[in-house]
Structure 1
């Protein structure tokens, strides 16, 4: 089988591609990682380069946009940063069309040689079994019809036409064993096109090449943001004489790099983060128009906001690049941490082997090993080395002091908090949660000096036996000095009962405002909570009651212990072996409105006779009622006359029907005529009366409407 130089070039290009391993890790290893709770992570690499250097990093295709949006490079040894290059995301066909040799349609050899017309090439072929090599200019490939020997018919034969110093020669394509372009630039174009084809086969990763220019060996740093799993927290709370809280962070290294001796920071908060496609080239359809010469538009300027101010409490972070390309970052100092022990050999509750324990795949180097501890609280105090700092008003960062090792594609549990904390043990009662027993819990004040990100919390008690475990809880985000309540078990030593107390509802006042009567009632409600403490230890019960709103006034007790948007909390001390009750009484004023034009007379009469209405209100109500009665009388007179009209009209219909059968000269017919004349006079008089009564009614109604609309009496 013949092997052509073009095919060999393609195979060599494919063989030179990375096989999926990131060979840059040894040159620029990851030295710093900051994980955020917004789904991104900041990764910083540091290392040394010498002279003009190019470092290639491989990234998953889905992370390229984040890298392009956030990449930062520093050459701190006097060098300069050069353009960053990366594989284009354009379609393969469009990329190949950019080369002088078009391979976008996967041409065969004859088609490719036709596209190389005018190029000089050296062609090796066989002629009657003898090898021949000739150099000339490619004229093209043509297809000829040739006759087969021994009357075998005809066939199509492709022939390369080559212009040589000796003239034009035709070489059958089937006899060619090799072609070689003599133009180095054309050869390079062909190789680059084949390299593009080869790189397009890697569908999962893309290479980003960082270019540095300088002299000698010098340090460089590279930082970028990419998508990263959310880091999560869990806590251990140790109850007892000296309560202790311990925090652990769960992090996942889903990158292709091992984290070795990495400085790790964990940031809580929700900074805005998004993905914008910067990798895929954008092409905008453009219309073809005739060339026109126009004056340049006037540049526009936009004024800044003169009222913009930096909010108090926000740290001003200033990054300055010095003359030597070093980066100086100025920020407000982190708050002082409460004193705590060093990172101990116990590595957690219950002691353990001294040394450097491996926890969840992460190795922590311990610089101050401690002795084994005798209690849960003591063990927890010596299992951490970290500090925290507020970043503005929206973020809080935990800086792990001891470098960590997390192998790639592995997860780790990393301690970020260990501190004494103020805890008040309580029982929490909410009838909507548990009707017959409160829940055991704690009122925790965050005295750690750190922001506590929300998460699960396992509760231990030094007095609870061999393992100390007493329950699980959840805690929300808690700022320094903020107090939160948490519950972890049912308090079966306390029985609880809830029943309604005595309530009431009394009319307080009556006023009239713009034609509306407003009756104010005072409603009082009470709830009685009773607890029986069967234990030998006194309890503080935190009673939670739904907050009804600002319009309800608390009468008993005088004030709440704690208030949230949805709940009021009341503390109740229940001695050991005793029963204790708490009555919560509230009242509020409720207004009921009545329209003076449509409220029934019975209801208005009640308000006239009540002692809660003033004389002026009563007089106004009597006036309105009298006017409405007069209008009602007019309406009744109108209805009466309309009824009479209907009766007369019905009689006239009967008479006219009878008259149709009578002789006009008969006495009965004449009698009917006289009777109709009389009725017509009655109808006319009734209609006149109706018109007068209707006009008077409408006038009286308009007067009443105007009177009521302006009526305001208290």
Structure 2
């Protein structure tokens, strides 16, 4: 990486001519750059002008869309006019008004065939021949030594006669019509412009509003640039009980603009602005439906009575130079942890959505080069921790440090190279880490190495227990508590103490039941703090709980289900007594139901037997002994049916009474937890 960064205010002697000319009156020179982590850069050019002026500015073709979207002209004492640039002019538009297409320019023969009927003058071995083009045809011509070659014959209508000339033998073909000559020239010029694909020149027109005094005009725009990155160096004391660390932050900046930056006012912005691209330099046509010509009916459109108007909004002019001059200048620290700033410390300022680093001295950076610019340098609160992330390292914690931003500005995200400094002053590389955006007053944990001196084991088990039971309105609600327990066994380092943070997953619907202290939460983790002395083996139990609720209608419980609840050792005595009484009433109701069912079954059997006897009686001779026997059986069965039927009302009433007693008990039962 080439670090060609200069902060001197005077132009260098070997500065390119384009840079030195940028300071001349009436010429735009790059004066200010603001690079954003949104992947865009604000470029502000400045010129001193008198009266009306045209300022010219070259931009890359791939930046034209962004320039058209964002260009702004600041003219404090004048009036900004238009901004013009050559159009993209697609080939289809270039040839739209011409009597030939792009293919006609591929060869002389193709062009002359496309210009059939045009008047031309040819000069060659036979002298000058003038006439109108009929056609150009290709033919194979024999060569004296054998073989052949392709030649083209141009047929012309001249003075009423058809004449032919060989195109390859002519010295020239001249178009006689000036208009046609201009059209061919325009096509050729358009093709030449199409090859100029890399640059476009913008012309900014400004008008004098107050006399002829010299004034400053600024032209600015926002275009896509390489993302600037942040890298940090964090130096920690080797002893784990240290409270601070030396933090140095650097910005990696690339100049890929195609031109040198010379003595520009330079600012870096860290934030997440909304940025997008829009192809404003392309030509778009709205497709329209084709409507046939109406030659029959005539219609009279309804009279338009008008529509509500839109109120025009007048844009307020922003005086960027005044705002910049009025901005407060923060005092910069004299040095950084990694050494003094040769370029001067940037002035950091926190805005609503981003942090701004403004460099007090001008910056110079050649095109295609990279610079490493210091932006942060101070002592920062740093607590040594050992972070256990099972998905990262299953058996060992990560050596980490909790950084707290006690400054007034956010720290941008970036990579951190971590060093450890011994008591003798020796520095060693400890590892690399990543820092997320760190606003003022907040803290972040960054991990940089695996600590093999500490071993962590895990054991998991699941439990479930009755936590609450209640009865209300004939409904039993039982709430059981599901419990997930993880036991962490931490075998500490033999010679040094550790402060271990266990990251335990958070689960939807589950709450942390234990431990209650030393716990912090992230979006999807619990972080549980456990101090482990040197040589100690510590045990940490983490429990998550979730209630599981069941509701049951008591009237629907069978005797077997009631028996299951009675056999449980978890239910409280009040609920056990209620179930015992419920079991008695359910048993009584079932006994009455069985007695009724027995009577109904007996009655059904008697009636079935009676029907069988009647069928047999139909086929035996009347007055026979068997007939007499059947009649006696029918009489006895009728007596038994009558006796059984007489018992049914009482049995049914007994069932209803038992069921009423059960329902009344259930309805009146209330048991609070």
Shared fold per TM-score greater than 0.5 = yes
Task: Quote the residue 1:395 is aligned against.
Answer: 354
Match of 2:562 in 1: 601
Task: Indicate conservation of the 8 Å contact 2:432/2:448, yes or no.
Answer: yes
Q: Secondary structure of 1:197's partner?
A: helix
Report the Cα offset of residue 595 of structure 1: 0.7
Q: Aligned match of 1:197 in 174, 191, 195?
A: 191
Specify the alignment match of 2:267 in structure 1.
265
Distance 1:574 1:531 in 2: 8
In the aligned structure 1, how far is the partner of 2:354 from the partner of 2:650?
81
Offset at residue 244 of structure 1 (A): 1.3
**What does the per-residue CA deviation read over 1:648-688, in whole Å, with 9 as the maximum and x for residues that have no partner?**
899899999x98xx976597996998799899989999999
Query: Counterparts in 2 of 1:285-684, with a 5 A limit?
Result: 285-288=288-291, 293-296=301-304, 298-300=306-308, 320-321=317-318, 328-329=322-323, 336=330, 340-342=333-335, 377=337, 379=339, 385-392=345-352, 394-429=353-388, 434=393, 437-463=396-422, 466-494=426-454, 507-520=466-479, 527=487, 530-535=490-495, 538-547=497-506, 552=511, 559-560=517-518, 562-575=520-533, 577=534, 579=536, 581=538, 583=540, 590-597=547-554, 598-599=556-557, 600-605=561-566, 610-611=571-572, 613=574, 619=578, 628-629=586-587, 632=590, 636=594
Please give the alpha-carbon distance, in whole angstroms, between the structure 1 residues aligned to 2:509 and 2:316. 48
- Deviating more after overlay: 395-404 vs 668-677: 668-677
Q: Which residue of 2 aligns with 1:362?
A: none
**2: distance between equivalents of 1:494 and 1:470?**
17
Distance 2:633 2:68 in 1: 104
Structure 1 gap ranges (5+)? 1-21, 146-154, 162-167, 304-317, 344-376
Instruction: Tell me if the contact between 2:514 and 2:542 (Cα under 8 Å) persists in the aligned partners.
Output: yes
- What RMSD over aligned residues (CA atoms) do the two structures have, in Å? 5.6
Question: Quick check: 1:522–1:587 contact (8 Å CA) kept in 2?
Answer: no
Relative to structure 1, the CA distance from residue 23 to residue 655 in structure 2 (aligned partners, 3 Å threshold; closer, same or farther) is farther
Q: Deviations over 1:312-344 (max 9, x none)?
A: xxxxxx97346xxx754479967956x52258x
SS at match of 2:68: helix
What TM-score results when the alignment is normalised by the length of structure 2?
0.69
Alignment match, 2:81: 81
Q: Is the 8 A contact 2:112 2:136 kept in 1?
A: no
How many Å separate the matches in 1 of 2:508 and 2:136? Answer: 97
**DSSP-derived class of the 1:468 partner:** strand
Question: What SS is found at the alignment partner of 1:602?
Answer: helix
Q: Give the CA deviation at 1:286.
A: 2.8
Q: Which residue number corresponds to residue 309 of structure 1? A: none
Does the aligned pair in 2 maintain the 1:340–1:382 contact within 8 Å?
Answer: no
Instruction: Summarize deviations over 1:402-460 as a string: whole Å, max 9, x none.
Output: 44444444444333222221112233345665565443222211124332222321111
The change in CA–CA distance for 1:564 and 1:645 in structure 2 (over 3 A counts) is: farther
Q: Which residue of 2 aligns with 1:243?
A: 245
Could you say if the C-alpha distance between residues 602 and 88 of structure 1 is closer, same or farther in structure 2, counting changes exceeding 3 Å?
Answer: same
- Aligned 8 A contact 2:49 2:217 in 1: yes
- Asked if structure 1 preserves the Cα contact closer than 8 Å seen for 2:133 and 2:154, the reply is no
Larger relative CO (CA 8 A, sep 6+): 1 or 2?
2
Distance 1:225 1:144, change over 3 A: closer
Preserved contact between residue 44 and residue 224 of structure 1 (Cα < 8 Å): yes
Provide the secondary structure at the position in 2 that maps to 1:248.
Answer: strand
Q: Distance in 1 between matches of 2:568 and 2:36?
A: 66
Asked if the contact 2:30/2:46 (under 8 Å) is kept, the reply is yes
Cα gap change, 1:699/1:320 in structure 2, threshold over 3 Å: closer, same or farther?
farther
Are the aligned partners of 1:428 and 1:441 in contact in 2 as well (CA < 8 Å)? yes
Structure 2 CA distance, aligned partners of 1:517 and 1:442? 53
Structure 1 198/270 Cα, relative in aligned 2: closer, same or farther at 3 Å?
same
Out of 97, 104, 107, the residue aligned to residue 106 of structure 1 is 104
Tell which deviates more after alignment, 210-219 or 487-496.
210-219
- Using the alignment, how far apart are the partners of 2:494 and 2:390 within structure 1? 19
Structure 1 position 561, deviation (Å)? 5.4
SS in 2 for 1:284: coil
Q: TM-score, normalised by structure 1?
A: 0.66
CA deviation digits over 1:336-371, x for unaligned, max 9? 56x52258xxxxxxxxxxxxxxxxxxxxxxxxxxxx
**DSSP-derived class of the 2:410 partner:** coil
1:234 to 224, 231, 235: 231
The answer to whether the 8 A contact 2:271-2:354 is kept is yes
Distance 2:652 2:259 in 1: 96
The answer to whether the 8 Å contact 2:98/2:183 transfers is yes
> Which residue of the partner structure matches residue 256 of structure 1?
258
The 2-side partners of 1:128 and 1:210 are apart by 51
State the SS of the aligned residue for 2:333.
Answer: coil
Offset of 1:712 from its aligned partner?
A: 6.0
Please point out which of 144, 155, 160 is paired with 1:158.
155
Q: Distance in 2 between matches of 1:67 and 1:526?
A: 59
SS in 2 for 1:605: helix
Q: Do the aligned partners of residues 141 and 705 (structure 1) sit closer, same or farther apart at CA in structure 2, a change above 3 Å counting?
A: farther
| Cα contact 2:100–2:115 (8 A) shared by 1 | no
**Partners of 1:477 and 1:250 in 2: CA distance:** 17
Aligned position for 1:209: 202
Could you say if the C-alpha distance between residues 487 and 609 of structure 1 is closer, same or farther in structure 2, counting changes exceeding 3 Å?
A: closer
SS of 2:92 mapped into structure 1? helix
Q: 413-422 or 34-43: which moved more?
A: 34-43
Deviation at 1:480, TM superposition (A): 1.3
* CA shift for structure 1 position 124: 3.7
Contact in 1 for aligned 2:466/2:570 (Cα 8 Å) = no
2:283 aligned to which of 263, 275, 280 = 280
1:233-277 residue CA offsets vs partner (Å, 9 max, x unmatched): 221101137621112233344443333434443333322223333
How far apart are the structure 2 equivalents of 1:259 and 1:420?
33
Residue 644 of structure 1 deviates from its aligned partner by 6.9
In structure 2, the CA distance between the partners of 1:507 and 1:30, relative to structure 1 (3 Å rule), is same
